Structure 1
Amino acid sequence: MPVRETELPNVGRKFELDLASGGRLSVVIGHDGTRTLYRQPDGDGDAERVAELTGEEARQFGAILGGAYFQPAESETANVPVGDARIEWYDVHEDSPLAGSSVGDSEIRTETGATLLAIQRGSDTIANPGPEEVIEPGDVLVTLGTQEEQRNLQARVNKDSDA
């Protein structure tokens, strides 16, 4: 998706992006530092002013849009070439039967068929955790498995699960 840039004499610069969902998003960066966002529902119609941001607001919002605060699992970009397997994330709560047990003792793969790919612990990622790694409350388990395997794992992670 190319971004078009246009010089606006005595105003600043305009940047335009055609959206995959249709329409266009534009931002005018003024010489005074303001950023004004516009949305055109269709590419040729009138633009609607959406918001005006200060430079600091624009930098913070840009960081959010860029993924500095949160990285979603965008299913259209996730490629899992293993039949009908999928990647799932499970929060480990205080009352989870797995909380406090090692990966080996939890027998996740043996009991559910799902594979534990990683443990997200705060800002740290423990990739391919060994059998001695202890699963802690607050961890997020990143797993690979079929729908049935994931259902089985969800039931083990969350004792009150409906799965």
Structure 2
Amino acid sequence: MKTETNNRMEALACIIADLKAENMMMTERVHQLMDDYNNVTRLLRGKEKHEPNTEGYTLSELTEALEKCEALEKEKKELKHQCAHLQMERNEAKSRADDCEHQRKELFKQIARFDKLEFKEIGTSCTSKPFAPEGNPVKVGSTECCTCRHFLKMDKYFCVLCACHYDGMKAMEDIERKNADD
């Protein structure tokens, strides 16, 4: 059973490492997108239209200035499109990063629950649910045991994985947190 537990823990550790690596890559991408977005907005702010003083300019100078203005307008439109696209990518990346963070938290909760599991021998009396409705002790591995909310898994021959201890601790923490909030 020790080897099985070690294998489970090793698999969970690999999953956590993969999630951390993906989270770091997403964070880098979000920073890169934010930098790109800031550069685009800075460019847009720097290329605003100004009314030139046209006195004393030749026709060729005014034509050249007009062509530059038209080119800048075209570039401004392209930059606005890029900016909108980068904002959309940034929002998607942030959403994926938030999802990864939520998954990471849920995984840590499951690992904490897994760490507090108890192996109960099949056929013994259950300590978490001592009596069935008829007043008889509940046997580990029985139908009542398998429908219990703390039941996780059963080995056909030897034991049952039960999360009663962890679930009880979490229930007490929730009650204490509720009392502290009141």
- TM-score range (shorter-chain normalised) is under 0.3
Counting strand residues as a fraction of each chain, which structure ranks higher?
Answer: 1
Relative to total residues, which structure has the larger helix share, 1 or 2?
Answer: 2
Higher CA-based Rg = 2
TM-score in terms of structure 1 length: 0.25
